[in-house]
Each structure stands twice: as C-alpha cells, then as structure tokens.
Amino acid sequence: MSHDKFLTTEIRRRTLLASMAAVGASATLGTGKAFAQEPEKPAEIIVRAWGGSWVDSLKAGVSDSFTKATGIAVRHDLTEDNEIQPKVWAAVAQGRVPPIHINWDTTTNATKSALRGVTEDLSDLPNLKNTTELAKPVGLDGYPIVNTYGYVYVLAYRPSAFPNGAPKSWKDLLDPKLKGRIALYNDGIGFHFPAQVAGGGKLEDIPANMQPAWDFIAKIKEQQPLLGEDPDFTTWFQKGEIDAACTISTNAREAKKNGIELAWVVPEEGAKFDTDGLWIPKGLPENELYWAKQYINHALTKEAQQVWLDGLGLPGVVPGLTPPADLVGDPSYPTTEEDFKHLIRISSKVQVENESQWFAKFKEIMQG
C-alpha cells in the first residue's frame, strides 16, 4: 500500500517538474493557454479560507488573478480550519475525494495533517526558490505545507482605557481596573508563550517546564477574562465589553478599519509569532492536484503576495514586498532582525506535540 503510493508520487513528481516550470511562468505572465501536456482543467477548484476580510484578501490577491490566468474558477469554502480538519481526515481515511483542493490553514494545524500523512508533497513548486526561509515548515521533511506569511498575537487595547499610555507588559493585564475587561482565545492560543516569560520562566524550558506560564495564567484567571474567537473580540471591543485582548493583528486592524477605537503593541515579554500556510489533501484526481499546485505556486508570486497580504496586513514569504502604509514600522509587521527579536517563535513540531496538553491545562485553569 505505502509502496504503491510512493511509486506514484515519484512518477508524478517527475512529469510535473517538466511541465510546471513552464506553466508557472505562463501563469504569472497571464497568458493562460500553455502546453499540450497540461492536464485537463477542472471547472473550479475549492480553496478553504477564513471568512470576512480574510477571504476578501485572498480573492483579490490570489484567486481572481489565478482565474484570470487559467480560466479555472475558484470557490471558497469558509468552513473553519478546525472544523474542516476532521472532514478532510475522514475523507482521506475512507479513500474519498476530499471536499477541498487547497487548505489555507495555520501551520500548527497543517503540521498535524502532515504528520498524519494526508498532505501532498509540494517541494517541486517552481516558485519556492524565490521564497525566504519562512516558507519552509520547521521540523518536517520537504514541503508538505508551504507557509505563506507570518503573523503576531499582539496585545490589542482600547487607548481610552489606558490614559497613562500604551500597556508595556502582559503583566499590565493584572491591573485591578481591568477585571472582567480582558479577552483571550478559547484555548489560550497565542498566550501560553508570553505567559511563560511574564511568569518568570524561560522560553528554552518549553515544553519541559511551563509552570511559570500556568502560574501567570492562573493570576489572569483571577481577572475573569472573557474567552472567545476572533469575531467575539471584535464584537466585545465594539460593544464596550472589553478593553484589552491577545489577538492576531489582522483582526485588530480590521476592527480599527471598521471604526472601532483600537491600538496594539508587542509587550516587553514578546509576542507569539506564527505562520499560516497552504496545503493540498491527498486523494484528488491527478489533474485537479496539478491545478491545485499551480494555485499555491501562484500564491507565492510577488504580485499575488503583495495584494493578498496588503489586505491582511501581514509580512509575506517573498522578498521585496512593500508594507501597507499604515503598518510601516509597526511591531505586528516584522521585517528586520531587530523586529524579530521581540517575537517568540516555537517550532511547529513542539507545538503540535504538546498543544493538546497546553489547551487542556489552560481550560482546566479557566473552567475551574
């Protein structure tokens, strides 16, 4: 069984390598029509994406130009990343054609799928050679996923609630007047690592000794934080329920664009930096796999990255991108060595292997 699979991947890769360089080039040139060995085009491909401004950016930057270049329509499946995962896994396990062609996913979730062996290998994408090392998933062989940008879990806050100036430390969340006024993600994602530092621990001790993080989180629990997801945070800021939250900068920026009074910082303990990526589930027909790879290849062009990531306000994986005007010098848009010093990056492997315990521990503290 595994023997078979290995063989077909090999053959597939060789035929692909020949055709793909050419097509990759033609796609970026926008000529569309190419070579005789190009596999049959499906009418559409399905890309899983997050809703709201996330999918709008992807559409503007990648999907629309892909359709223009190839004539293949792109349909966006807005199922949450967590919720598509069991669907894709079940499809692969049952030998069905998966419900999506491409999954836009967090690197951590994507790594789980890669470890499980449900991802196609992407190391033969021609445009990978133009990418920075950020594109390469850490701790995995080859490219079962391609990272497409990085993002920061910033401390977003309502300036009017901080009359003495922006919060400097995650410990500022322990201020008694913020009781019941702060929000974290449901599973604490983005908060575990800065909590480790704020609790007096060392990042090198992750995952072996995270007691400092749990101690700090227990103190935060005394502040009665609200726990939720991105739309909750926006709503809560909008309706005056909270004054501060640990959230992805993109959502904070989107809320600000919608007229909500918001600003954000990377506190002195640092903030979690992570990546999102694209991957293709196993089980697609040969020709659809080919065009799905073309889509990802296209997402790695500078033109596509520029528009897509302008929408998201995030740093990409090809050199020479121009930051959006509102984010020049912003700590949530790291570009220099110095910027990255303030950010905490833990390998996906450590994260996926321990995440369920971290989530469980966080839940235990918060639900107690």
Partner 1 sequence: MRKSRAAYPLTWRVMDMLEAIAARLWPARFARALPYLMLAPAVLLVGILVLGLVQIGDSSLRVLDTSTFLMSEDYTLANYQRALTESFFATVAGRSLLGSVIVTVITLILAFPYAYLMVRTPSSALRNVLLVALFLPFFIGQVVRAYGWLIILGNQGMVNEALGLVGVPPMRLLYNYPAVLFGLIQYMLPFAVLMLAPALTAIPAELEAAASSLGANWLGTFRHVVLPLARPGLVGAGLVVVTLSLTDFAIPAILGGGSQDFIANAIYDQFFRTSDQGMGATLSLLLVAVGSLLVGLVFMLFGAGTLAMTGERK
Partner 2 sequence: MTGSRSKSIVIWTFVITALVMLSAPTIVVLGASFTAGNIITFPPEGLSLKWYGAIAQASDLRQAFVRSLIVASICTIVSIPVGTLAGIALAKYRVRFARSIQIYLLLPFTIPLIGSGIGMMLVFGNMGVLGSLWPVGIACCVINLPFMIWAVTASASNLSPDLELAAANCGAPPLQRFLYITLPAVLPGVITGSLLMFILALNEFLVSLLLVDARSVTLPVQIYNSIRSIITPDLAAISVVFIASAAIAIAVLDRLVGLDIFLKSK
Instruction: Say which entry of partner 2, partner 1, none residue 226 contacts (CB below 5 to 8 A, set by partner kind).
Output: partner 1
Instruction: Say which entry of partner 2, partner 1, none residue 29 contacts (CB below 5 to 8 A, set by partner kind).
Output: none
Residue 207 or residue 324: which is nearer to partner 2 going by CB? 324
Helical pair 211-222 and 348-367, crossing angle rounded to 10 deg = 40
Cα dihedral 360/366/367/368 (nearest 10): 110
**Is position 235 an interface residue for partner 1 (rule: CB under 8 A)?**
yes
Which of 98, 228, 270, 334 lies at the binding interface for partner 1 (CB under 8 A)?
A: 228
**Cβ atoms within 10 Å, residue 312:** 25
Instruction: Say which entry of partner 2, partner 1, none residue 112 contacts (CB below 5 to 8 A, set by partner kind).
Output: partner 1
Binding mask 218-257 for partner 2 (x = CB under 8 A): ------------xx--xx--x-----------xx--xx--
Interior CA angle at 307 toward 72 and 287, to 5°?
A: 25
**Is position 180 an interface residue for partner 1 (rule: CB under 8 A)?**
yes
Binding residues with partner 1: total (CB under 8 A): 36
Which of 240, 261, 287, 340 lies at the binding interface for partner 1 (CB under 8 A)?
A: 240
96, with CB counted inside 10 A (0-12, 13-18, 19+), is exposed
Strand partners, 44: 73
Contact 180, 221 (CB under 8 A): no
**Is position 92 an interface residue for partner 2 (rule: CB under 8 A)?**
no
**Is position 77 an interface residue for partner 2 (rule: CB under 8 A)?**
yes
> What is the footprint of partner 1 within residues 116-135 (CB under 8 A)?
116-117
Distance of CA 171 to the CA centre of its chain: 26
Interior CA angle at 81 toward 260 and 57, to 5°?
A: 50
The answer to whether the bond into 207 is cis (omega within 30° of 0) is yes
Task: Tell me how far apart the alpha carbons of residues 268 and 260 are, in angstroms, rounded to a whole number.
Answer: 25
**Is position 80 an interface residue for partner 2 (rule: CB under 8 A)?**
yes
Closest distance of CB 143 from partner 2, Å: 25
| Binding segment toward partner 1, per CB under 8 A, in 132-140, 238-246, 310-318, 333-341 | 238-246
**Is position 239 an interface residue for partner 1 (rule: CB under 8 A)?**
yes
Backbone angles phi, psi at 3, to 5 degrees: -60, -55
Contact 328, 256 (CB under 8 A): no
Instruction: Say which entry of partner 2, partner 1, none residue 126 contacts (CB below 5 to 8 A, set by partner kind).
Output: none
| Binding segment toward partner 2, per CB under 8 A, in 62-70, 93-101, 182-190, 291-299 | 93-101
Residue among 289, 278, 296, 283 at smallest CA distance from 42: 289
Q: How distant, in Å, are the alpha carbons of 8, 253, 286, 299 from that of 15?
A: 11, 44, 11, 22
Instruction: Say which entry of partner 1, partner 2, none residue 227 contacts (CB below 5 to 8 A, set by partner kind).
Output: partner 1
> What is the footprint of partner 1 within residues 205-224 (CB under 8 A)?
224
Which of 106, 113, 249, 348 lies at the binding interface for partner 1 (CB under 8 A)?
A: 113
Closest distance of CB 278 from partner 1, Å: 19
> What is the footprint of partner 1 within residues 61-100 (CB under 8 A)?
80, 82-83, 85-86
Amino acid identity, residue 50?
W
Amino acid identity, residue 154?
V
**Is position 51 an interface residue for partner 1 (rule: CB under 8 A)?**
no
Helices (H), the chain: 2-29, 53-58, 64-70, 81-93, 107-116, 192-198, 211-222, 230-238, 249-257, 286-299, 302-312, 337-341, 348-367
**Contact residues for partner 2, defined by CB under 8 A:** 46, 50-55, 75-80, 83, 86-87, 90-91, 94, 96, 99-100, 230-231, 234-235, 238, 250-251, 254-255, 258-259
**Contact residues for partner 1, defined by CB under 8 A:** 80, 82-83, 85-86, 112-113, 115-117, 180, 184, 186-187, 224-228, 231, 235, 239-241, 352-356, 359-360, 363-364, 366-368
